[in-house]
Chains A and B, each alone.
Chain A
Amino acid sequence: MGSKRKMFITGGIIGIVAAILMKFGNPGNMGMCIACFWRDIAGALGLHRAAVVQYIRPEIIGIIFGAFIISYLTGDFKVRGGSSPLIRFVFGFFLMIGALVFLGCPLRMIIRLANGDLNALVGLVGYVFGIFIGVQFLKKGYSLGKNYEQSKVAGFFFPIFALVLLIFLVVRPAFILFSTEGPGSMGAPVILSLALGAVVGVCLQRSRICTAGGFRDLILIKDSHFLWGILGIFVFTLIGNLILNFNKFNLGFIEQPIAHNDFLFNFLGMTLVGLCSVLLGGCPIRQTILASQGDTDAGITVIGLIVGAAFAHNFGLAASGTGVPVNGKIAVIIGIVFVLFVAYGIVLGNNKKVSKDAKGVSANV
């Protein structure tokens, strides 16, 4: 089977899963959303107090288990880290702010688009724009530096975290918060979410699909390999929705579920997401997969996502169906400026180092 067809079909499986999970109770156009799901988990753990978005999303647990087990069996599980963890944390943090102003990770953006939400098209243009800017930094020598082999124990943190979350989900102790209304109260049956999450985890781990990588490679090396995966997600979510959720299909900008139509901030929110994703080497879902297969740098990034989600709700930055709060707009602009500034600083530093190395030790005084 050709590699592009394989990508398209793998993406297709993820798309069908998204349509099924929406059919069986997930919030509108939220069959899969890594940003929303981590945000709900942050809420369930009490890290923020937005009562409508608190739930231990079983999909995340499934994704982590799926990616962990398959990577262990195939030899992809490798424990590495130490490549600029603090910068990764901060980029993950701002990525989440951008995603919660747009209302969705890049995966949900594609899923929203596949159900007719044209605000996601505005988001997509912003996302590709952010990726384009990020690629310019890559071309100029941007790098977060080498990673190193780490103790194997560290690679088990994420699967253990997922296991703890699963226990919380089943036991439902009093200190774990579950929404009684709003998106957080809506979800497909736990077993179904877990199982389909695991399917997605396996597909993503094996295919290495990354929503940022698809556009990045097209711009950077003219390679459409991963883009076929994204196309597969779109096409099969669309087909799945037309079969399973036909009455919910709604083409247009208004009255879209858990979305707003502030064009500028749909665009800028996703610009921030695209920029951060390229600079991190992967979108939120790719980071979650990597974290599950022993990449502790991706692990720190995911923790940045979780903390970002907590701040987004504690500081009133996150958007809702009614629009983007002023604080959220300011945070996105600060985020873009800050991330550009950091990336520029990294490029400057790296290039200085390269020219120093080229001059040799004798000139290096």
Chain B
Amino acid sequence: MSKIIDARGRSCPEPVIMTKNALDTENEGIKVLVDTNVAVENITRFAEGKGYKVEVTENSDDYEINIIR
């Protein structure tokens, strides 16, 4: 079970910083919750740039980003 980071309601660039900080300790992967397209794009770009695999699931009013090694 990977660690869950709740970045909902956070404005740019906080979701990316939270993701970065979490990946520093949990380098096997994490799950990030966000609620804007911009955060999804920024986190996806960041994590893929670091060599992670990224899966995004859209829920009714938020997004679940699965970041795996």
Taking beta carbons and an 8 Å cutoff, which residues of A are in contact with B? Answer: 3, 75-76, 78, 80, 83, 138-139, 143-144, 146-148, 208, 210, 213, 216-217, 220-221, 223, 225, 281-282, 295, 297
A12 to B14, CA, bound (A): 28
Partner of A144, one of B11, B16, B17, B37: B11
For residue A3, which residue of chain B has the nearest CB?
B45
For residue A78, which residues in chain B have a CB less than 8 angstroms away from its CB? 35-36
Q: Told that A83-B9, A213-B12 touch, could you supply 16 new A-B pairs with CB distance under 8 A? A: A76-B37, A78-B36, A80-B9, A143-B10, A143-B14, A144-B11, A146-B10, A147-B9, A208-B41, A210-B12, A220-B17, A221-B16, A221-B46, A223-B46, A281-B12, A281-B14
Known contacts A223-B45, A223-B49; is A146 also within 8 Å of B9 by CB? yes
Q: How many residues of B contact A (CB 8 A)?
A: 18
B29-69 interface bits toward A, Cβ cutoff 8 Å, 1 = contact, 0 = none: 00000011110010001100100000000000000000000
- Is B10's CB under 8 angstroms from A282's CB? no
- Is A148's CB under 8 angstroms from B13's CB? no
- Is B49's CB under 8 angstroms from A220's CB? no
* Interchain residue pairs A-B with the least CB separation, the first 5: A146-B9, A281-B12, A281-B11, A147-B9, A76-B37
A76 to B39, CA, bound (A): 11
Q: Report 24 cross-chain contacts, Cβ distance below 8 Å, ordered by A residue.
A: A3-B45, A76-B36, A76-B37, A78-B35, A78-B36, A80-B9, A83-B9, A138-B17, A139-B17, A143-B10, A143-B14, A146-B8, A147-B11, A148-B9, A210-B12, A213-B13, A216-B13, A217-B13, A221-B20, A223-B45, A281-B12, A281-B14, A282-B12, A297-B11
Taking beta carbons and an 8 Å cutoff, which residues of B are in contact with A? Answer: 8-14, 16-17, 20, 35-38, 41, 45-46, 49
For residue B37, which residues in chain A have a CB less than 8 angstroms away from its CB? 75-76
A216 to B12, CA, bound (A): 11
Partner of A281, one of B8, B13, B20, B49: B13
- Is B13's CB under 8 angstroms from A220's CB? yes
For residue B16, which residue of chain A has the nearest CB?
A221
For residue A146, which residues in chain B have a CB less than 8 angstroms away from its CB? 8-10
For residue A80, which residues in chain B have a CB less than 8 angstroms away from its CB? 9
For residue A225, which residues in chain B have a CB less than 8 angstroms away from its CB? 45
A78 to B46, CA, bound (A): 23
A139 to B35, CA, bound (A): 22
For residue A220, which residues in chain B have a CB less than 8 angstroms away from its CB? 13, 16-17
A147 to B35, CA, bound (A): 11
For residue B41, which residues in chain A have a CB less than 8 angstroms away from its CB? 208
For residue A217, which residue of chain B has the nearest CB?
B13
A210 to B13, CA, bound (A): 11
For residue B12, which residues in chain A have a CB less than 8 angstroms away from its CB? 210, 213, 281-282
For residue A139, which residues in chain B have a CB less than 8 angstroms away from its CB? 17
Shortest CB-to-CB span from B38 to chain A, Å, is: 6
A252 to B57, CA, bound (A): 52
Best-buried of A80, A217, A221 by chain B (most CB within 10 Å): A221
For residue B16, which residues in chain A have a CB less than 8 angstroms away from its CB? 220-221
